């Protein structure tokens, strides 16, 4: 059983959903983001998403755009991001790590090489935002051979006819993009999620996580209880950015402030348990 | 990905190079495609269906023809540039006068087609990206004509260097949003327009101005721009009784070039030359020559030649011309380059400035800086060709918008 499948099945046995915090690699520098990555599980992260900085993140809002730029300025490369995950794995064999990013750096690195190196580094799954199933043949075979999950996005605009097609290309879990929009801008209501999630569940046996627009502990608890997990990204990066000094460097407040927020999100997600869906 | 030799063979055997991309929106099995977030995939598939229906509907074509004739002002003339021809002393040079279209460039050909499609689809809000502002002005114009809400994203750097067009768009009722991300040029405007579209899918139509982006845009924009080449073919037949020998056009994303090339793809005797903006020089590191100095990658919904780092980060393009200042190129051009059907060369900022003055002084036509790149290459090539050879330069836009930039480079204060 993969780390992702095991984690979701353990949490299901506990009767709760997963908290999946996001960090942008190398934001604001390698050392700080690696320290944050290492500290996330103890703060309450059940799975972790690591953003691969890209120059043109066209599905992201201003917060993640800025984080990607800080990461690139700090020297992030795809190889460097894999190196970070590898360093994280030295101290944590169980927390699933998912890379999230855009396809061009991966295409440039080489799909087969990427899949092999990512698995060797301890990466469990990858979300490539601008690689829909129509174009995914370039990565599917090497990912399968290497044992890397391809996490698929499902959006409110995904039609019922299309849903089955998209999910037939998914592995690991399904990432439900809760709003038609870019990251960190709007928030879906609990009513929206209660209507949408059963539709996705009916079409897959994979766990479903909700992302885009999950900001508060209440929203995270709600999303993780209606679905199987909640991805929280922009609000954590906003917090991190708020602790940086005028030159954009990390301060003593950076790690504790972000970790405290993850702690509050985790407490709410754990208290909420899961709704019978 | 199909092997290049096989493609070249298939291209030779195939009855026509003028064809639709495959079911995945790929040209030559490799370039193009639909590389967008899931939120947008259902929308581009809907657009593809709507366009296929419109294309097959004679009423749509009649409506488009009406607006092209009475609003855009087509056909545009094919002008024999006598003084330019004499001065260069080689090929006989004709200028395809796209700068005489309403709004001053070829951009309106495509915009007219897409706005009629957007209306058929019931969309009420239009978003567009623009570099030099020519596409933005064309889009703002048709939105005024049909009473539609219009939002144009434009890089902050371009807002600064293309002030007249910004004012023009605002007069036409468009909201112009300066984009400060990145270098504040066309690439960044494109990112922001895509973000707007993702966030406003219910009522919004994204009106892309060039032969790039996810399928069906590259083929659709090409179809709407092909009126240029189709007219040239008929006009040259009338003027000279034969096909031209060389067709030259400037390339940023490549819509004016694709529009004039496409009807000639199967006429193997016609050399097709795309002129990229070399900026400070092809090897200066400050260039926009994606085909000559880039390599294939994925950006803005399609796989094509891109200026990028070894790590796959997209690099900033550089050109004196805002309309060519883009690190990619339309995917069909990428394919035409690989199979060798079209040639791609560069012209520098300096050469374009010289050509700008050359054309203005000899023909009384002030070309856009974009089009001046095509003129610059013609100035190099024409003298090497026999006097009975025929060359067509696509004069894609007029240069009134560029007089401030040119004045600055000439050290003149306006």
pLDDT confidence of residue A188: 86
Q: What angle do CA B162, B168, B174 make, to 5 degrees?
A: 110
Neighbours of A221 (CB within 10 A): 24
- B198 and A180 in contact by Cβ < 8 A? yes
**A183 confidence band (pLDDT: 50, 70, 90):** confident
Which pLDDT belongs to residue B156? 93
Give the distance between the most distant pair of CA atoms in chain B. Answer: 57
pLDDT at B185: 85
Give me the domains of chain A, ranges plus CATH numbers: 3-272 (3.20.20.70)
pLDDT class of B322 with cuts at 50, 70, 90: confident
Which token pair is A96? 């699933």
Residue where the block lists tokens 């869906």: A277
- Name the percent of chain B lying above pLDDT 70: 97
CB proximity B183 to A under 8 Å: no
Chain B hits for A109, CB-CB cut-off 8 Å, are 311-312
Answer whether B312 sits within 8 Å of A56, measured CB to CB: no
**Catalytic-role residue among A24, A29, A60, A238:** A60
B77-129: pLDDT as tens digits: 999 999 999 999 999 999 999 999 999 999 999 999 999 999 999 999 999 99
pLDDT per residue as tens digits for the range A30-62:
999 999 999 999 999 999 999 999 999 999 999
Give the residue on B whose Cα is nearest the Cα of A131.
B35
Q: Which of B96, B107, B187, B233 is catalytic?
A: B107
pLDDT in tens, A131-142: 999 999 999 999
pLDDT number for residue B14:
59
Question: In DSSP terms, which residues pair with B317 in a beta bridge?
Answer: none
Q: What is the pLDDT of residue B161?
A: 80
- Residues composing chain A: 277
pLDDT for position B11? 56
* Model confidence pLDDT, tens digit, residues A252-265: 999 999 999 999 99
Residues near B219 by beta carbon (within 8 Å), at least 6 away in sequence: B20, B21, B25, B332
- The separation between CA A164 and the C-alpha centre of its own chain, rounded to angstroms, equals 22
Q: How many CA atoms lie within 13 A of A247 on its CB side?
A: 5
Handedness of CA A203, A208, A214, A220 (dihedral sign): positive
- ipTM, two decimals, is 0.95
Q: Left (φ > 0), alpha (ψ -120 to 50) or beta: where does B398 sit?
A: beta
Answer yes or no: are the C-beta atoms of B227 and B261 closer than 8 Å. Answer: no
Q: How far apart (Å, rounded) are the C-alpha atoms in residues B63 and B70?
A: 11
CB B399 within 8 A of CB B360: yes
Q: What is the DSSP string of B117-141?
A: HHHHTT--EEEEEESSSHHHHHHHH
pLDDT recorded at residue B160: 87
CA separation (Å) from A104 to A52, A245, B311? 11, 32, 9
CB of B306 less than 8 A from some CB of A: yes
User: Mutate which of B23, B35, B199 to test chain A, going by most A C-beta atoms within 10 A?
Assistant: B35
Verify whether the Cβ–Cβ distance B312 to A104 is below 8 Å. Answer: yes
Strand partners, B390: B92
Cβ-based neighbour number of residue B294 at 10 Å? 23
Cβ–Cβ contact B33 with A under 8 A: yes
Q: What is the pLDDT of residue B4?
A: 63
Report the pLDDT value the prediction gives residue B12, as an integer from 0 to 100.
55
C-beta atoms of B195 and A59 within 8 A: yes
- The strand pairing partners of B250, in sequence order, are B275
Residue B1 has pLDDT above 50, yes or no: no
Q: How confident is the model at residue B75 (pLDDT cuts 50, 70, 90)?
A: very high
A79 pLDDT higher than 60: yes
CB-based burial label for B229 (10 Å; 0-12, 13-18, 19+)? buried
**Antiparallel, parallel or unpaired: β A152-154 and B301-306:** unpaired
pLDDT in tens, B139-198: 999 999 999 999 999 999 889 888 889 999 999 999 999 999 877 888 999 999 999 998
User: Considering the entire predicted model, what is its pTM?
Assistant: 0.95
> Is the confidence at residue B235, as pLDDT, over 70?
yes
- In this predicted structure, the answer to whether residue B57 has a pLDDT above a threshold of 70 is yes
Q: Are A209 and A174 in contact (CB under 8 A)?
A: yes
Strand B246-251 and strand B390-395: pairing?
A: parallel
Within 354-393 of B, beta carbons closer than 8 Å to A belong to none
pLDDT bin (cut points 50, 70, 90) of residue A276 is very low
Q: Which residues contact B122 (CB under 8 A, 6 or more apart)?
A: none
Question: pLDDT for A130-172, tens place per residue?
Answer: 999 999 999 999 999 999 999 999 999 999 999 999 999 999 9
For residue A159, the chain B residues in CB contact (below 8 A) are: 42
Q: Mark yes or no for CB contact B312/A57 under 8 Å.
A: no
> Cα B40 to the chain's mean position, in Å?
24
Structure tokens at A160: 């019922």
**pLDDT for position B9:** 58
Reported as a pLDDT band with limits 50, 70 and 90, residue A277 is very low
pLDDT surpasses 50 at B341:
yes
Task: Note the pLDDT tens digit of each residue in B349-398.
Answer: 999 999 999 999 999 999 999 999 999 999 999 999 999 999 999 999 99
Q: Is A79 exposed, middle or buried (0-12, 13-18, 19+ CB in 10 A)?
A: middle
Using the beta-carbon criterion (under 8 Å), do B33 and A134 form an inter-chain contact? yes
pLDDT score of B301 more than 60: yes
Average pLDDT over residues B337-343: 98
Selection from B346, B86, B317, B9 nearest residue B188 by Cα: B317
Joined together, the tokens standing for residue A235 give 């609000």
**Strand A18-24 relative to strand B204-206, pairing:** unpaired
Q: Whole-number mean pLDDT of chain B?
A: 95
Neighbours of B57 (CB within 10 A): 12
> What is the pLDDT averaged over residues B318-328?
92
* Burial category of B256 from C-beta neighbours within 10 Å (exposed 0-12, middle 13-18, buried 19 and up): buried
Known catalytic residue at B129: yes
Q: Pull the structure tokens for residue B94.
A: 């004709």
Specify the 3-state DSSP secondary structure of B201: coil
- The stretch B243-260 carries a mean pLDDT of 98
> SS3 breakdown of chain A: % helix, strand, coil, rounded to 5?
50, 15, 35
Residue with the two structure tokens 């030779």:
B12
Q: Is the pLDDT of residue B10 over 80?
A: no
Side by side, the strands of the sheet bearing A125-128 are A149-150, A125-128, A97-101, A48-51, A18-24, A229-232, A208-211, A174-177, A152-154
């Amino acid at each position: 059983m993969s780390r992702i499948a095991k984690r979701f099945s353990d949490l299901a046995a506990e009767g709760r959903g997963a908290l999946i915090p996001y960090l942008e690699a190398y934001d604001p520098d390698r050392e700080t983001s690696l320290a944050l990555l290492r500290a996330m599980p103890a703060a309450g992260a059940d799975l972790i998403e690591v953003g691969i900085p890209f120059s043109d993140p066209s599905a992201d809002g201003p917060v993640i755009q800025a984080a990607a730029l800080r990461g690139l300025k700090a020297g992030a490369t795809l190889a460097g991001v894999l190196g970070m995950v590898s360093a994280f794995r030295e101290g944590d064999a169980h927390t699933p790590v998912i890379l999230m990013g855009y396809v061009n750096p991966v295409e440039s690195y080489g799909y087969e090489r990427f899949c092999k190196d990512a698995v060797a580094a301890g990466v469990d799954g990858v979300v490539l935002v601008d690689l829909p199933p129509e174009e995914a043949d370039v990565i599917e075979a090497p990912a399968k051979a290497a044992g890397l999950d391809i996490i698929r996005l499902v959006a409110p605009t995904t039609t019922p006819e299309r849903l089955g097609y998209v999910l037939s290309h998914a592995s690991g879990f399904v990432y439900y993009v809760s709003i038609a929009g870019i990251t960190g801008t709007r928030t879906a209501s609990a009513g929206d999620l209660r209507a949408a999630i059963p539709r996705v569940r009916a079409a897959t046996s994979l766990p479903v996580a909700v992302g885009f627009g999950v900001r508060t502990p209440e929203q995270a608890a709600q999303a993780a209880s209606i679905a199987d997990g909640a991805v929280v990204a922009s609000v954590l990066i906003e917090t991190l950015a708020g602790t940086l000094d005028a030159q954009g460097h990390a301060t003593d407040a950076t790690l504790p402030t972000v970790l405290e927020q993850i702690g509050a999100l985790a407490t709410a997600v754990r208290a909420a348990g899961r709704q019978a869906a | 990905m199909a092997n290049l030799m096989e493609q070249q063979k298939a291209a030779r055997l195939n009855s026509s190079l003028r064809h639709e991309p495959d079911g995945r929106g790929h040209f030559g099995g490799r370039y193009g495609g639909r590389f967008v977030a899931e939120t947008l995939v259902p929308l581009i598939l809907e657009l593809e269906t709507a366009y296929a229906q419109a294309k097959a509907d004679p009423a749509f074509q009649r409506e488009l023809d009406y607006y092209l004739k009475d609003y855009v002002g087509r056909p545009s003339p094919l002008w024999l540039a006598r003084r330019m021809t004499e001065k260069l002393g080689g090929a006989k040079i004709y200028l395809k006068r796209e700068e005489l279209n309403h709004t001053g460039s070829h951009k309106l050909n495509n915009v007219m087609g897409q706005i009629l499609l957007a209306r058929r689809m019931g969309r009420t809000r239009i978003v567009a990206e623009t570099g030099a502002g020519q596409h933005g002005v064309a889009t703002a114009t048709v939105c005024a004509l049909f009473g539609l809400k219009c939002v144009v994203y434009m890089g902050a750097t371009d807002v600064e260097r293309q002030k007249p067009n910004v004012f023009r768009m605002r007069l036409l009722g468009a909201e112009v949003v300066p984009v400060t991300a990145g270098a504040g040029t066309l690439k960044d405007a494109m990112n922001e327009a895509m973000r707007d579209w993702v966030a406003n899918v219910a009522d919004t139509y994204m009106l892309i101005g060039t032969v790039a982006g996810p399928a069906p845009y590259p083929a659709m924009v090409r179809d709407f721009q092909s009126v240029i080449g189709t007219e040239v073919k008929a006009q040259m037949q009338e003027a000279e009784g034969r096909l031209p020998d060389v067709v030259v056009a400037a390339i940023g994303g490549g819509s004016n070039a694709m529009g004039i090339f496409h009807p000639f793809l199967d006429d193997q005797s016609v050399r097709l030359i795309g002129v990229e903006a070399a900026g400070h020089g092809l090897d200066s590191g400050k260039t926009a020559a994606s085909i000559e100095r880039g390599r294939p990658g994925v950006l803005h919904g399609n796989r094509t030649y891109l200026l990028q780092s070894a790590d796959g980060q997209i690099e900033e393009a550089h050109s004196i011309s805002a309309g060519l200042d883009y690190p990619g190129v339309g995917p069909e051009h990428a394919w035409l380059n690989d199979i060798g059907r079209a040639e791609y060369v560069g012209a520098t900022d300096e050469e374009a400035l010289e050509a700008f003055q050359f054309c203005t002084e000899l023909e009384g036509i002030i070309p856009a800086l974009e089009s001046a790149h095509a003129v610059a290459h013609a100035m190099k090539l024409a003298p090497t060709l026999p006097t009975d050879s025929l060359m067509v330069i696509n004069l894609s836009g007029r240069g009134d918008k560029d007089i401030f930039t040119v004045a600055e480079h000439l050290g003149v204060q306006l």
